[in-house]
Chains A and B, each alone.
Chain A
Amino acid sequence: MNIGELLKLSFRSLQSNLLRSFLTMLGIMIGVATVIAMISIGQGTNNQVTSQIQSLGSNLITVTASSSGQSGAGGGSEGTLTLEDAEPISKISTVKYVAPVMQASTSFKNGANITSTSIIGTTPSYADIKSWETDIGRFFTEDEVTDKAKVVVLGASTAENLFGKAGFDAIGSIVKINNIPFRVIGVLKSKGSSGTTDLDDTAISPITTVQARFQAGGSKNSIRQILVEAKNPNTIQSTMALMEYTMRQSHKLGNGEDDFKVQSQEDVLSSAESVTKTLTLFLGGVAAISLLVGGIGIMNIMLVSVTERTREIGTRKAIGAKEGTILSQFLVESVTLAILGGIIGVLLGFGGSKLVGNMMSIKTAISMNSVLLAVGFSACIGIIFGVFPARKAAKLDPIEALRYE
């Protein structure tokens, strides 16, 4: 008997008991669906995080406060990182740009148009580090930072929210930020969105102004982070070491007393990746257990099926079916069950991940590898848990089997 005839035979037998076949597949289906959904959601999230981190800029090093376990907390928190820390770092020879950054949640008002966005307080270098360019108008200057000038550069989305599509009349207009009048001096070129985050929903002002006007409570002087761009990717490591040294000097710290954290973009990336790796491993474990349970379900049903079909097996053997033929008949049946379950599981998993992806607006990634792995693994489950029942069928004594009621 060739494989086509065996497949036909197994489909007929599975068809003859549709409900049971379906219930048997359910274990594998759920297992595979879970794996596929989780992997594609996980990978989607991973891609999103990676692209967000990469969009931060190149050769980027960040300094955040890390005393009392808080790293890079919001502008109003008790922080040890201050505006003054930026100055010595900018003197390091391998540093190209330094931009101290703080952030505050604010509401913007232009006549009847109101929008809320977080305002970023920084220095002109920020535009260079983040490769922000102005679409119209200009970025603010060092003098305006020194003067605590009430000027603001709007992101494309923020400008649109306040001034409508064109936005040209925005330049020179006065908008009220938390009821304080600011002059709009520029609108940034659109950067689009990265995952769920609209990069254009932003506004940038001199850091001194933001500190003076919007710093809520706490230490008046603390900032969120210092962004540093190294001149050369090869000098990132040495630059980081120098920065740490400089910070310890200016904070008068001994070894192991660091109240700050210096991280390169790669550090951030790899820590994000290690999180997703752990998650993937954990999901793999869950999947393995559910597939194991599914496999046991298949074995159980195949054993029942062998018992039920004892007479059929006896008849087949009497008219000349060899042990190998009977073995492959039942094996093909269990593998068919497992693979069908796997395929339905893959489809369900994709459906589920698309659904979840749409709800959470994550672009779920579908990898061919995970599909092949899931289907291949199901096939293995079918073989492993099908061999025992199939052998039992093949070894039946035809005389006993024919006599079986």
Chain B
Amino acid sequence: MITFDNVDKIYASGEMRVHALKGVTLHIEEREFVSIMGPSGSGKSTMMNVIGCLDKPSSGMYTLDGTVIGTATAKQLSEVRNQKIGFVFQNFNLLKRTSAIENVELPMLYAGKSKKQRRERAEYCLELVGLKDRMHHKPNELSGGQQQRVAIARALSNDPSIILADEPTGNLDSASSEEIMGIFKQLNNNGNTIVIVTHEPEIAVHTHRIIWFRDGKIESDRLNTGRVSV
């Protein structure tokens, strides 16, 4: 599903050169539930941008679901993000003044699906996260946990290869956090591949595999044996 082969990422601004990823080699299988951890500056955000096809590797090869990302054009990257990746952000990033269901429909709108298809799929995704009864609410009429659930429904809408979540519980209280992690678990049980970038151990413990970054390199990559169940 996700293959990193000796991937480097170097940011150059003026005289400064930041070597954010140094020879990362990694393989994530379909249906895995992975967390990427590390202190700030460890390269985990860069890792998330590269996995999410928001950025391209400087060298090395990144393959997502059989597609080599390094040579893709901006337009192709947009398509890959649209079709293969479902983003969940720390601050939800829902469109204001736009109802929950319309937010969920948006990726499908960009994919060019018909109105009927969009509506049906969006309702189904909202049902999965337990928000079907609130689908016509605007984001500001929903709690933080509910907003994040809408965001997850949006991430699911184009049936992506992976769901990529960046600190998905960073702005939530612990009860809502547990709720969100419960949804991720359920989705994983349904067969979705999920990658969560986080610095919170309480979140990482829910996942099956924890990859620890330090100084742009993978410091440790182990299965999580002490999983908690929700």
Knowing A5-B109, A321-B110, A398-B54 touch, does A315 contact B93 (C-beta < 8 A)? yes
Cβ contacts under 8 Å, A323 to chain B: 74-75, 78
Cβ contacts under 8 Å, A320 to chain B: 78-79, 81-83, 107, 110-111, 158
Is B110 within 8 A of A1, CB to CB?
A: yes
Which of under 10, 10 to 19, 20 to 34, or 35 or more describes the interface residues of B? 20 to 34
- Bound-state Cα–Cα, A312 to B89, Å: 12
Knowing A16-B97, A399-B55 touch, does A319 contact B107 (C-beta < 8 A)? yes
Cβ contacts under 8 Å, A311 to chain B: 93
- Residues of chain B in range 44-79 having any CB-CB distance to chain A below 8 Å: 49, 52, 54-55, 74-75, 78-79
1/0 per residue, CB under 8 A from A, across B154-194: the answer is: 10001000000000000000000000000000000000000
- A317 on the B face (CB < 8 A): yes
Is B97 within 8 A of A321, CB to CB?
A: no
Name the CB-closest residue of B to A315: B93
B193 to chain A minimum Cβ distance, whole angstroms, is 18
In-complex Cβ contact of B89 among A1, A16, A402 (8 A): A402
- Bound-state Cα–Cα, A312 to B106, Å: 12
1/0 per residue, CB under 8 A from B, across A42-86: the answer is: 000000000000000000000000000000000000000000000
- Residues of chain A in range 335-349 having any CB-CB distance to chain B below 8 Å: none
- B87 on the A face (CB < 8 A): yes
Name the CB-closest residue of B to A394: B74
A168 to chain B minimum Cβ distance, whole angstroms, is 77
Cβ contacts under 8 Å, B83 to chain A: 320
- B223 on the A face (CB < 8 A): no
- Bound-state Cα–Cα, A5 to B102, Å: 12
A326 to chain B minimum Cβ distance, whole angstroms, is 10
Main secondary structure of the interface of A (DSSP, over half): helix
Is A316 within 8 A of B106, CB to CB?
A: yes
Knowing A16-B97, A399-B54 touch, does A319 contact B154 (C-beta < 8 A)? yes
- A318 on the B face (CB < 8 A): yes
- A12 on the B face (CB < 8 A): yes
- B26 on the A face (CB < 8 A): no
Cβ contacts under 8 Å, B81 to chain A: 317-320
Is A319 within 8 A of B110, CB to CB?
A: yes
Knowing A1-B109, A320-B110 touch, does A402 contact B82 (C-beta < 8 A)? no
- Residues of chain B in range 104-151 having any CB-CB distance to chain A below 8 Å: 106-107, 109-112
Name the CB-closest residue of B to A403: B45
- Residues of chain A in range 313-332 having any CB-CB distance to chain B below 8 Å: 314-325
- Bound-state Cα–Cα, A317 to B78, Å: 7
Is B74 within 8 A of A318, CB to CB?
A: no
- B95 on the A face (CB < 8 A): yes
Cβ contacts under 8 Å, B49 to chain A: 399
Cβ contacts under 8 Å, A318 to chain B: 52, 54, 81, 87, 89, 93
- Bound-state Cα–Cα, A318 to B166, Å: 12
Which 5 A-B residue pairs are closest in the complex by CB-CB distance? A320-B82, A315-B93, A320-B110, A322-B78, A319-B107
A interface with B by C-beta (< 8 Å) = 1, 5, 12, 16, 311-312, 314-325, 398-399, 402
Supplied contacts A12-B97, A16-B97, A322-B110, 4 more A-B pairs, CB within 8 Å: A319-B110, A320-B110, A323-B74, A399-B54
